[in-house]
Amino acid sequence: MRLWLVLIALPLSAAPSQLANSGLAKLTLLAYDLTGMRISDLAEAVNQTTRIFRAAGIDLSWTAGSPAAPEAHLLDLSVPTGAPVTPRRLIVAQIINKRTRAFPSGALGLSLPNARVGAQVILFLEEIQRQQAQTGVSVPCLLGYALAHELGHVLMRSNAHSPRGLMRAEWSRAELDRIQHGALKFTKAEAKALCASLLAANGALAPH
């Protein structure tokens, strides 16, 4: 089960400002849902992602964007893999129903760390539903963890995978069991890299 993500912005917003903590690095997600899933399922999924990032020292807030927005349908596949990427504090995610032939078979989602416009994360709902049927892990839970995985790629500006854990290319039964119990997290080294990326983004956006 390969972990590549895609998110789609929905016509709702859910920014957990009541959970904001000034001591945490800040990350904003704009999610476009092009599948018509229930908003409660999307919120449950992103709440899982928010909890994972909070454990890594990052406060993630999110907004569901309108599927009618032009940005909801933009994908930038033109940037070479090795091209320099500006660190970002705002990530656009897109959720679509079907994986096209342009994306790997069996992937739950895809990350585009080098994209300069449109989505940097794409999630495939039908693939996630297929995994739910095979593993018994709920769709919102799989979606939330897949999103965290792909956001990790974007923030670390790399599609490299870890031999185990959240950033593994394919989740084993051990990872899936930890997902069901809410126990799968970024490693300390990964959390450090994620926070460093956000600090770099803050520096890139600071006034001169």
Return the CATH number at 115. Answer: 3.40.390
In a domain, 34, yes or no: yes
Give the CA-trace dihedral at 148, 133, 107, 166, to 10 degrees. Answer: 30
Name the residue with tokens 């449109």: 118
**Per-residue pLDDT at 153:** 94
In a domain, 113, yes or no: yes
Within a domain: 100? yes
Q: What is the pLDDT of residue 150?
A: 96
pLDDT of residue 132: 95
What is Dmax (Cα atoms) for the chain? 53
Q: Which residues of the chain have pLDDT under 70?
A: 1-22, 79-87, 102, 203-208
Looking at the 3D structure of the chain, how many domains does it have? 1
3-state secondary structure (DSSP) of residue 179: helix
pLDDT tens sequence across 6-53: 333 333 333 343 334 457 899 999 999 999 999 999 999 999 999 999
Q: Is residue 1 part of a domain?
A: no
In a domain, 79, yes or no: yes
pLDDT at 80: 62
6 is a domain residue: no
CA atoms of 190 and 183, how far apart (whole Å): 16
Domain extent, residue 192, equals 13-205
Q: Which pLDDT score, from 0 to 100, does residue 52 have? A: 98
Quick check: is 3 in a domain?
A: no
pLDDT at residue 207 in the model: 36
Q: Give the per-residue pLDDT at 93.
A: 97
pLDDT score for 7: 34
pLDDT of amino acid 186? 97
18, part of any domain = yes
